[in-house]
Structure 1
Amino acid sequence: MRLRLPEERPTEAPTGFKIAHPVLSQDGTRAGFTGVSLGGALPYAVVADASCAYGLRHRAPHRRCDCGFHCVHDRTTAEALLCTAEHRAAVLLEVSVLGAYIRFERGFRYARQRVRAATVGPCVCGAAAAALADAGWGRPGWSALAPACAACVRGRTALSPAAFARLAGDGLRVVAGGGGPWGGSGSGGPAPAAGRGVPAGPGVRDGAGSAVRADLGVPELVAEAALLQARLDWFQTQLARLGEPGADGSARG
């Protein structure tokens, strides 16, 4: 007799938690995440379908394979993973488990997910993060990002959390470790973004070239201002260096 797993038919999608690294596409028009373990080579969007990481043609999650998205039931368990050295720069994701799934004691392995919220931790220096900046590594076509404070951004490619939320789309909320939201929409619907039929209004442009709307809330504007100030400080430092005697390669007197 063939054994079958018990079936569940929940009235609403289960919630899970996981950690991942935020990523930015090479052309700067898309944002997403990449995992920290088995599926780390395959960046995914806010709403995504799983595929077998081993290249097998069965549908994920297969009962005799490790494929599929993975998450844990408890937020505290996911937060504990951020304590390890290799995961300090990752962000905490709150996800909706969609499609077929297999329930385990500590979590799910499942076919489809929606990332509802991403919680950004502090900068490596310990200060509150004002941006997601180039982490110095990535995947083909994607650059990994890491939380960075205004002072540590310097000349690196960076996005404010609000800009990352807009590029990721599908109603993603990016939340500060202290609880303040950036970007997304409070109702859970997609946040308006320039270039999709919604006028951007007057504003500045972030590192990916996306227009920053003029109707942002206070937390978003604070993050944008901190990022702009960091870039201005870096620019002034470079100007001062170029103005020093001998900075152009000529001999000092």
Structure 2
Amino acid sequence: MRLRLPEERPKEPPTGYKIARLALSHDGARAGFTGISLGAALPYGTLDVAHCVYGRRHTAPHRRCDCGFHCVHERAAAQALLCTGGHRGAALLEVTVLGAYIRFERGFRYARQRVRSVTVRPCGCGARASVLADAGWGRPGWRVVEGACGGCAGRRASLRLAEFARLAGEGLTVTAARPDFVPGTPSEAMGVPELVAEAALLQARLDLFQGELARLSGEGAGEEKG
């Protein structure tokens, strides 16, 4: 007897998370995405249908193939993928899973998707990204772009985040992630517990400095009396 997986018929399309590179068509008229592994050679749009990357004629996702769009259930799991060196320039995507899908322990493999929102990582210098600048590489017909601040973007070809969203269409929203650490702005980089600990450390150093200053002042006064 052949066992079949239970079928799901949710009232609302499932939500998933993934990471991808942002891309701009060579003529600058379209914005899209390119995957980080298996589907990297096939850029896709905000609302798109998956195709078999091996060129087979079956409909994705096929049970005997690993084709189709991929995403994970949890946002934190997708964010963790951004820690690896090869994925530092990728963006975090929130997607709606459409059409047929296969559920796994950590995510979905599915036929169609709508990218709802994009979160762009901070610039390589640590500042919040204000533009998407040419990353210096791409795919045939597509240039990969990545988050950058105005200073680091320099003379590279770039566009505003809102302009990328407009070109991508389908109501996509693009936002810049808050920097994990920005030199010179401790109030944005640290929370209340960290600031309290820093203040206590500064107070301890001040007490030590005042004690040494009092000791040196006392020794100086003793030498004058002699």
TM-score past 0.5 threshold: yes
Q: Return the index of the structure with the highest Cα Rg.
A: 2
Letter in 1 for 2:38: L
Name the CA distance, whole Å, in 2 between partners of 1:5 and 1:63.
11
Runs of 4+ residues deviating >4 angstroms:
none
Instruction: State the partner residue of 1:126.
Output: 126
Note the 1:15-26 alignment, pairs <5 A: 15-26=15-26
Letter in 1 for 2:7: E
Q: Deviations along 1:36-85, whole A, 9 cap, x unmatched?
A: 01000000000000010111111100011100000000000000000000
Question: Where do 5+ consecutive residues of structure 1 fail to align?
Answer: 180-253
- Residue pair 2:130, 2:176 contacting (<8 A) in 1 also: no
Note the 1:50-69 alignment, pairs <5 A: 50-69=50-69
Q: Deviations along 1:102-121, whole A, 9 cap, x unmatched?
A: 00000000000000000011
Are residue 114 (structure 1) and residue 130 (structure 2) matched? Answer: no
Letter in 2 for 1:13: P
Name the CA distance, whole Å, in 1 between partners of 2:50 and 2:2.
26
Note the 1:217-236 alignment, pairs <5 A: none
SS of equivalent to 1:21: strand
Instruction: State the partner residue of 1:89.
Output: 89
Name the CA distance, whole Å, in 1 between partners of 2:55 and 2:66.
12
Name the CA distance, whole Å, in 2 between partners of 1:151 and 1:175.
19
CA shift for structure 1 position 35: 0.3
Relative to the length of structure 1, the TM-score reads 0.70
The number of aligned residues is: 179
Question: Where do 5+ consecutive residues of structure 2 fail to align?
Answer: 180-226
Letter in 2 for 1:21: R
Identity %, equivalent residues = 69
CA shift for structure 1 position 161: 0.2
SS of equivalent to 1:162: helix
Q: Which has the higher contact order (CA 8 A, sep 6+)?
A: 2
Relative to the length of structure 2, the TM-score reads 0.78
CA shift for structure 1 position 154: 1.1
Instruction: State the partner residue of 1:72.
Output: 72
Q: Deviations along 1:139-185, whole A, 9 cap, x unmatched?
A: 00000001110101111111100000000000000012139xxxxxx
- Residue pair 2:46, 2:172 contacting (<8 A) in 1 also: yes
Q: CA RMSD in A?
A: 1.0
Higher helix share: 2
